[in-house]
Structure formats: structure tokens, C-alpha cells
Structure 1
Amino acid sequence: MTKPLLVLLASATILSGCNLAPDHVRPEGAVPAALPQGGIYPSAATDAPDVSAIGWRDFFLDARLRQVIETGLANNRDLRIAAGNVLQARAQLRTQRSDLFPSVTANGSATYTNNMAGAAGGAGAVPGAGAGGTSSDLDIYQLNAGFSNYELDLFGRIRNLSRAAQEQVFASEEAQRSARISLIAEIATAWLTMASDQEQLRLSRETLKAFEQTLTLTREQFRVGVGSELEVRQAETNYQGARNDIAALETQVARDQNALNLLAGTTVPAGQLPTSLGTDPVTLDALPANLSSEVLLRRPDVLRAEHLLIAESANIGAARAAFFPSISLTGLLGTFSLGLSNLFGSGSYTYTASPAVSLPIFDGGRRSGNLAYAKASQQVAVATYEKAVQTAFREVADALAQRGRIGEQVSAQSARSEAAQVAARLSDARFRAGVDSFLTTLDAQRAAYAAQQQLVGIRLTRASNLIELYRTLGGGLNETSPTP
């Protein structure tokens, strides 16, 4: 290798540390330093755990629900799509990184030439040839290996493009983690929704029996002339309303199961489906409050936005490098001989080294446009990152606000439901004793039925709120085993 080429490679090595990309600085100030506290927001527990360190197997207490979540993590198609996106990003990174290295190829050739000599004494005759002329074969063999147009990355263009591809890989991995957390929360919420609808259905069926008894009584009273047709029609209104609720809830339960099957990626066995919301806790209730907003920066969706921001900064470095000269090398090492036996003989080796320099002068504004586009894309990425942080802050704040008062709601609604049921029983007894009108009894029955329905809905809200708070704080990635 020639001395000038060695000097060129040494200079390229020294200059390869040049990077024209702006330094990454994480945007700050998009949200307050701490999550909301005081007022309706719950107080922090002294032994509050790190939510992201609580494994979903430990957080969810119902064994059936854990089985459904495990099935979903193994079969959900959205999660498989996210995993495929990671593989695609990694493949693109390998493709982009290949430009950092020369692409070496080898080729060989053989040429066979027949050299015809003319007749003796004639034009073009070969001295010593016979009267009829002679011919000879000329065999040429050549073998070469080398690289062509290998760009020396003096100003970091290729390295920045590789960095951008690497950050795309990181972003796709965070998107996969975010999809996993969301899937766990969606499965749990869908499972609890089905449990709530099952309980609503049971309540409607029990209420239908009570309304049916009332309807039978009023019809009998009307038949013997004690009651009126108006009372019969009013009792039938309650009865038919309960029938309608049962039909609607049976349909909803079937739809709940279909939604759960879709999330699980397969048909959930009947033994893993909920039958009622019940009173036993489905999740842990010891989640922290009054946290620093820095916890949001560890959420996968926020980390994804940050990786995309870093990628856009790297693209700026690549666009800036396009304004500087580029140097490419072509190197070839080979052997050449007139016979196959001499192909690797002494004196048959050849080499070629040809550096080339390209200096951009005029391109009609293409490079300036590319740089302006890269800077604008970075500004978009900054705003996207800040919005991701703000969205995370809002989600956690909303979940904390609901958690701060959901216990009081459940307590109040439980008391209201109990009072309404007692009132319905007393009103029915007074009606049968002839003290109250039938209209009072019907109103009391409707109020008790509605209060019980609302209690089931609020209990579902409380359970769903714990799941939402767990999700928004970044829980659900740890794979710890169930607590014995």
C-alpha cells in the first residue's frame, strides 16, 4: 500500500471522531415537579413501594385473572405486531451499520484467445511458420479481491445515520414494553367488566323474581276486586323493565367474553371466566401517592418519545455532514498470469488504490432543505416528547384524583343500597297491611333496584381505578412469581 494512502487513512481515523449532531438535552418544565397532592388527592403511604417493581403476578390476586393475562401475553396479536416491529428495526439497523465497513468482493476471470498466424512469406506471417500457417492459444487468468467506493466517515454522516437507526430500535423496544403494560391493564379491565356485568345480570334475575311476585299479587287482587288495573299495569312495568335488563345484560356478557377472547388471542376457558364481581379484592391496594413527576420519565411511552427525539438529533448531524467534502476509497488486490499454473507465482500480484474526493458546490438547495427538514423534525420530536410527559402526568393525576374519593363513594353507595332495600321491604309490608299505596311500594322497589345497580358500577370503578393507576405509573413489566 502506498505511503499517500496510509497518510490518508491515518487522517481519516483522526477525523472520524468529528460529530456534527447537537448534544441531547432532555426537555424539562413540561409538567410540575410533583404529582398533585392535598385536597381530594390521597396522602402518601410511608412504606409506599416502587410500582414499576411490583410484578403483575403479585399485583393481581385472582388466580383466574392471572391465567387469562398469561394467555394474552403469549397469544395477543397486537403484542406480536409490536415484537415484529422490533425485529424490523433491528434489521434496518444492521443494514445501516453495514455502511461503516467496506463491502469486500472477490471475482475471477479466464480469457482464452486463439492467435492465428498467416502463411509463409505472406502478409502478417509469423517467422518460422510453416507454409500452411500455424495457430497458438493464449490463456489469461485473473483473480481480484477488494472494495469499491468505501466512504470514509470523516464528519459522522454514516455514524449519525446509524445512531438514528439505533434509537429507532430503542423506541420500538419501548413501544413493545408499553404495549405489554397496556395489554395487561386491558385484559384485567375487560375481565372485571365481565364480572360486573355478570353480577348485574344476577341482580336483574333476582329482581325479576321479586317483581314477578308483586305482579302476581296485584293481578290476584284485581281479579277479586281489591286492586285496580292501574296497579297491575304499574307492576307489569317494573317486571317488563327487569326482563329487558336481563336480555340486554345477557347480550353484554357475551360481548364481554368476545372482547376478552380477542385480548387473550384465543378462547378463554370457562373456568377462567368471572361469575361475579364479588367482595374479595382482585388487586393490591397499597399503591403510592404524592410521587415526584420524575417517575413518569420511566414510562415506556415517554422513553420511546425520548429515543425518537435523540434519533432526530442524529439526523441533524447527518444532514450537516452533507455540506462537507466526502472521501471514498477503492482498493483492489489481485493476481494476473498467462497460465493457470503461474496465477500465484512470483511477480503476478497487482494492487490498485484510488482515493476520490467529492466536494459539493451547487445542488439547488437540496442539502439546505434536508437540514431544515431535520431541524423541523427535531422540533416536532421535542413537542411530541413534552406531550407524552404531559399526557402521562394527566393520566396519573386523574387516577389519583379518583382514588382519593372512590372509597367514600363506595361507602356512601353501599349505605344507600342497604337503606333502599330496607325501605323496599318496609314499603311492601305496609302495602300488604293496607297502610301505604301501591305506588309507594313500586317506587321503593325501583329505587332499591337502581341503588344496587349503581353499587355494582361503583365497585367496578374502584377496581378499574387501581388497575389504571398501576398502568399509568409504569407497572406490569416485572415477571415475579405469585406471592404464596
Structure 2
Amino acid sequence: MALGGCALNAPPAKVDAAAPPQWQAPLPHNGNLTDLNNWWQNQGDPLLVQLIDSAQAASPTLASARSRIAQSRAERVAAGAALAPSLDVAGSVARQNQQSSIPTGTTSQVALQASWEIDIFGAGRAARNAAEARFNSANAGWHEARVSVAAETANQYYGLRACEQLLKVAVQDAGSRAYTARLTELSSKAGFLSPSDSALARASAADGRSRASAQRAACDIGVKSLVALTAIAEPELRAKLAAATAVPAPAIAIAVLPAQTLSQRPDVYTAEQEVAAASFEVRGAQAQRYPRLSLSGSVGAANFHSGGENTQLDTWTLGPLAISVPVFDAGRRRANVDAAQARYELAVSQYRGSVRKAVAEVEQALVTLNSTGERASDAEISLQGYRTAFTAIEDRYKNGLASLLELEDARRSRLAAENNVVSLQQERSNAWVALYRAAGGGWTASAVVPAQANN
């Protein structure tokens, strides 16, 4: 049995993550990685903080994560309890009459019974360690869900604010087109412009109204999406949105080395703990192929009452000390080991895949931030130029020195530039949120799950 215990050879509980030695994308210059947990509060937008809090309170994803914590805690307690002896109290009362020298009487007894399976080969310890790893994984999963809900809410909020800006642009554009259509209609009736110019101006005005209507509908859909996320009544949410002003997301600094950033990702930690749990399960499956040793015993007291007299009987037993040796199971235990080994290899593959995914998410967010930063100034210069050009052509058109086609072409260029600036701002805000999420959202392995997640 001792030699068999030495023969157990489970795969390692911790494997190499194969993280790259350095980032390939340029890093942000400002910000603070250590304060990501309070990143939303530092933005100076109290409405966004309130929306995130409401979304996290109403999220079924977080409720599911809390349920997994409760289940894994119960499994950890059960696995740990299996290593200790079990104690039971049993009591009984019986009245009997036998055709013997023993008179009719009532027997009452109570006993304390104990049993213990001695964990010689570590099957119980492996089960306890696997349950502990999965409990740690569930705790990290709760933090991952919290970060995910916060990021989703922020993206929806920033998307709605961008939609509102695009709606303002669309409404202004529609008003400008309507003014041009009225001016063209008067000029056409006076004989200064052809009927085709009047038709083109009316078509342009109708197109502007259609764009504004479509943009308004998109904003309404965005509000309803926020209602679904936060469980805030729509009238109340609209009032809050109208009273608040959006604030751009602040900068985030990340660690110089990828390994340090990946250590703050709850999803990577979860995958790492799954590798450890799978390793312990392989050891447990291997231990099931070896003998099992158990010990039992009891201490009790009995009383026999007959003919008005009581007879006290005290008993105790130690044993049996029993050993169970597997002889033949048609390969079931060997198959269990192979299955556990296959689950371990899958866990290792998923862990390394999660590391690659985490690196890619950080790199992609960094590339987007760098790109939007470089394009921002050009977009503003482009917008100012197209605005100036449109104003000049509009003045020339009013004085009969430019055609309607020139005016409409300048209008389209200005509108595209307006929309590009707003979309660029939204893209940059989404990239900061993506980097917040990719950097772990302020989570650390020692993070404590709030009390409501433990209940």
C-alpha cells in the first residue's frame, strides 16, 4: 500500500501561461492601473456610476455567479468533511416477548456511532483540493461578471450619448436642408431657378428629415436597452439623462509586462484554478484504484425494564478495521483516470487559450486608443474645414453664385465630418472601457467577494 501511494503521479496543478515578454502595441502615457476598481467613480459622471450600480444589482449574470459561489462553497465543505470521522447518535425503544427464560420487557438504548475512511492514498484530499480550487474560481467568476456588467453598461451609456450628439447633428442638418428648400422654392417660383433645382432641394429636405427620424429612433432604442440593463423605469431614466452631462472616460495605465496585467484578470485566474482542480481530480481517480481502509466503532448504553426492575447494559465496540481491495471492475477505474486526464488536458488548453485571448484584448484596445488619438486632431481639422467650406458655398448659393449641386455636395461632406468626430469620440470611449475590462477591472487574487455574493 505504501509503494502504491508513491506510484501516484498526477499532472502539475500549475502550468506555464506562455505570456509574451512585452506588449507590441504602444502603451498609454497617463492613468493609474492600481485604481481600476474605482475607475467609474473617478470619471466625475455620477449618473454613469448609478447606472452601473443598478445594472449590477439587477443582473442575472451576477445572480448566477452568486449561485455558483454558494454551490462551490457547499461542495468544498462536503469534500473537507469527508476527511474527518463522522459521528451519529442512534436511539431505539422496543418491547418484546420471547419463548425463553428472558421475561417480557422493554429495551431502550442510545449509542454514539463513529466511522472513518482513512485517506491513505489521498483520494479525499484530492477531492477537497479540487473543491477549494473551484471555490476560488467561483469567487473570481463573480468579479469577472461584475466587471463585464459594468463594461456593458458603460458602452451602452456612451453609445446613447453619442447617439444624442448624432441626433443634434441630424436635426441641425435637417433644418439647414429645410431652409435651403424654402429658399430654392421661392427662387424657382420667381423664375431664377429651374423646377429641377426645386425638386432636388425638396428631396434633400425629405432626406434630412428621414435621417433625423431614424437617428431619434436609434436613441429611443438605446434608452430602452439601458432600461433593460439597469431596471430603472424609463420616465425616471430619461429625466436623469436629460439632467446629466456625459464626461469622457479618463486614461488608464497598464503594467509594463503582460504577465503582471494577466495576473489581474479574473477570467485567466478562473481558468488557472480549473487546471488545478482537474489535476487534483486526476490524482483522486488514480487513488480510487488502490485499497481503501475504514474504521468504525460505537459507544452506547441500554436499559432493560421488566417486572418493575431496570437492568443497565453499557456497550462499546472498536472496529471493524476493514480494507477493501479492488480486484476486477472491467476497466471502470482505469477509464475514470483516462477521463480525468482528458479533462485536465482540456483545462490546460482552455487556460492557455484564455491567456492568448487576454493578450489580444489588451493589444486590440491599445491599438484602437493609439489610432483614435492620432485621428482625433485630423478629424477636428477636417470638420472645421468642411464647416467653413459649407458656409462659404451656402452664402454664394444665396447670392446666385453657386449651384445647388455644389451646396448639397458641401453639405454631405460637412455632415460626414460631423458624424466622424462623434463616432471617433465613441470609439475612443469604448476602447478605454475595453482596456479597463482587459486589464481586469481592478481585480486581484486576494479580492474579497462582498457579503451579498456569499449569501
Q: TM-score, normalised by structure 2?
A: 0.89
Shift of 1:418: 1.2
- Give the 5 Å matches for 1:26-45: 26-29=15-18, 31-37=19-25, 41-42=26-27, 44=29
Q: Distance in 1 between matches of 2:378 and 2:310?
A: 97
Distance 1:434 1:176, change over 3 A: same
Contact 1:35 1:293 in 2 (8 A): no
Matched residue, 1:7: none
Q: Which residue of 2 aligns with 1:272?
A: 240
1: CA distance, partners of 2:20 / 2:438: 17
Seen in structure 2, the aligned counterparts of structure 1 residues 140 and 344 have a Cα distance that, compared at 3 Å, is closer
1:95 maps to 78
> In 2, Cα distance between the equivalents of 1:116 and 1:275?
94
CA contact (8 A) 2:28 2:252 kept: no
Q: 1:19 to 1:336 in 2, by over 3 A?
A: farther
* Deviation for aligned residue 1:216: 0.6
Structure 1 partner of 2:452 = none
Which is further off, 398-407 or 190-199? 398-407
The answer on whether the counterparts of 1:17 and 1:156 sit within 8 Å (CA) in structure 2 is: no
Give 3-state SS (helix, strand or coil) of 2:22's partner.
Answer: coil
Structure 1 344/60 Cα, relative in aligned 2: closer, same or farther at 3 Å? Answer: farther
Paired residues of 1:20 and 1:156 also in contact (CA < 8 A) = no
Structure 2: distance between partners of 1:271 and 1:56: 25
Which residue in 2 is equivalent to 1:450?
A: 416
Match of 1:390 among 353, 356, 377: 356
Q: Which residue of 2 is the match for residue 239 of structure 1?
A: 205
The match for 1:66 is 49
| Count of residue pairs brought into register by the alignment | 441
Counterpart Cα distance in 2 of 1:230 and 1:264: 51
Corresponding letter in the other structure for 2:211 = D
Q: Distance in 1 between matches of 2:309 and 2:324?
A: 39
Distance 1:326 1:72 in 2: 51
Aligned to 2:68: 85
Deviations 1:47-95 (A, max 9, x none): x633455513444221221221222232322212211221121122222
SS in 1 for 2:158: helix
Q: Distance in 2 between matches of 1:323 and 1:337?
A: 45
- SS of the residue corresponding to residue 106 of structure 2 reads strand
Offset, 1:363:
0.9
Contact 2:33 2:442 in 1 (8 A): no
RMSD: 2.8
Assess, with a 3 A threshold, how the Cα gap between structure 1 residues 433 and 104 changes in structure 2: closer, same or farther: same
Gaps of 5+ in 1: 1-10, 118-125, 127-134, 480-484
Q: State the partner residue of 1:147.
A: 114
- Give the whole-Å Cα distance in 2 for the aligned partners of 1:239 and 1:316: 71
Q: Retained in 1: the 8 A contact 2:227–2:237?
A: no
Indicate the SS of the match to 1:203.
helix
State the distance in 1 between where 2:179 and 2:36 align. 54
Which residue of structure 2 lines up, in the alignment, with residue 427 of structure 1?
393
Q: Residues 442 and 23 of structure 1: is their aligned pair in 2 closer, same or farther, counting only changes over 3 Å?
A: closer
CA pair 289-476 structure 1, distance change in 2 beyond 3 A: closer
Distance 1:142 1:306 in 2: 53
1:184 and 1:476 in contact (8 A); partners too: no
Whether the aligned pair in 1 keeps the contact of 2:266 and 2:443 (CA below 8 Å) is no
Identical aligned residues as a percent: 24
- CA positional deviation for 1:219: 1.1
Conserved 8 A contact 1:194-1:274: no
| C-alpha contact 2:65 2:141 (8 A) present in aligned 1 | yes
Residues 1:468 and 1:431: Cα distance change in structure 2 (over 3 Å): same
Matched, 1:24 2:7: no
Q: Which residue of 2 aligns with 1:413?
A: 379
Partners of 1:54 and 1:476 within 8 A in 2: yes
- Residues in 1 aligned to 2:178 and 2:378: alpha-carbon distance in whole angstroms: 29
Once the 2 structures are TM-superposed, how far is the Cα of residue 314 of structure 1 from its aligned partner?
0.3
Is the radius of gyration larger for structure 1 or structure 2? 1
Shift of 1:168: 1.1
Report the Cα distance in structure 2 between the residues aligned to 1:289 and 1:422, rounded to whole angstroms.
44
Q: Secondary structure at the match of 1:145?
A: strand
- Asked if structure 2 preserves the Cα contact closer than 8 Å seen for 1:185 and 1:468, the reply is yes
Q: Do structure 1's residue 258 and structure 2's residue 224 form an aligned pair?
A: yes
Using the alignment, how far apart are the partners of 1:458 and 1:240 within structure 2?
27
Q: Which structure 2 residues correspond to residues 104-253 of structure 1 after superposition, within 5 A?
A: 104-114=87-97, 137-148=104-115, 150-253=116-219
Distance 2:252 2:322 in 1: 67
- AA aligned to 2:124 is I
Q: 1:448 to 1:69 in 2, by over 3 A?
A: same
Alignment partners' CA distance in 1, 2:276 and 2:341:
12
Q: C-alpha offsets along residues 305-358 of structure 1, whole Å, 9 cap, x if unaligned?
A: 00000000000110110121101122122223433898784x633324211111
Conserved in 2, the CA contact under 8 Å of 1:198 and 1:275? Answer: no
**Which letter maps to 2:21?**
A
Shift of 1:419: 1.0
CA distance in structure 2 between the aligned counterparts of 1:283 and 1:477, rounded to whole angstroms:
19
Distance between the aligned counterparts of 2:57 and 2:443, measured in 1?
Answer: 14
Q: Which amino acid aligns with 2:362?
A: V
Answer yes or no: is the 8 Å Cα contact 2:184–2:198 preserved in 1: yes
Cα distance in 1 between the residues matched to 2:340 and 2:83: 22
